[in-house]
Structure formats: structure tokens, C-alpha cells
Amino acid sequence: MYMLSVPASCERGTLVLHPVGEIDLHTAPALADAVREVTGPWRELVVDLSGVSFMDSAGLHALIGLSKCCRERGGRLALTGVREQSARLLDLTGLSGVFPNIA
């Protein structure tokens, strides 16, 4: 069974997602679901990938969709805690420059 939990918090107008598990074809929709479950006036979104052990192209697609959602609100999506495997995937696909990284 595929598992991904996506705890979220809202801190000063910034929505922070903390996915834990693998983000793949079966679990990527959980990211969008987490955003839909959080209400409030957030525009900025941070995805902390430190708990993500694996991510494939479906995970990248989910991040792109979340980024679009942020832009529609006049905000942006940033990544933090990017592990080596995810960083390689972002580099290989040319997306490493699309998502700002924060410490």
C-alpha cells in the first residue's frame, strides 16, 4: 500500500506542507488534497521535502500544479529540505531553477 501523509500548518500567511513518505503516481494527489483542506488567506506555499524518501515525475507534476495555484493567488511556491534524490530529479528535468529553495 502506498502511503503519504501531508501535515500542514499556516504561519503568518504562509502555508507549510510537510509531506512524509513517497510522492509518486499513487500518492501525489495527497499534496493537492492537503492544500484544499487548509483554509485561510495564504498566498505563499512552502513544501518541506525533508520527509520525502522518493519522488517521481508525478511528484514533480504535483509541485508544478501547486506552484500554479500559488501564482493564481499572487504568491509563490518554495521548497525546503530537498534531499539528494529529489534534487537530482529537479536538476535532470530543468526544474531546479523554477522552485526557489529556502533554508
Domain ranges of the chain: 4-92
Q: Report the pLDDT averaged over residues 71-90.
A: 92
Query: Which CATH number, 3.30.750.24, 3.40.50.2300, 3.40.50.2000, 3.30.300.30, labels domain 4-92?
Result: 3.30.750.24
- What are the pLDDT digits (tens) for 23-68? 999 999 998 888 888 877 788 899 999 999 999 999 999 999 999 8
Q: How high is the pLDDT of residue 1?
A: 58
Mutual angle of helices 29-37 and 57-72, in 10-degree steps: 30
| Residues 19, 52 contacting (CB under 8 angstroms) | yes
Q: Alpha-carbon dihedral of residues 19, 22, 27, 29, nearest 10 degrees?
A: 40
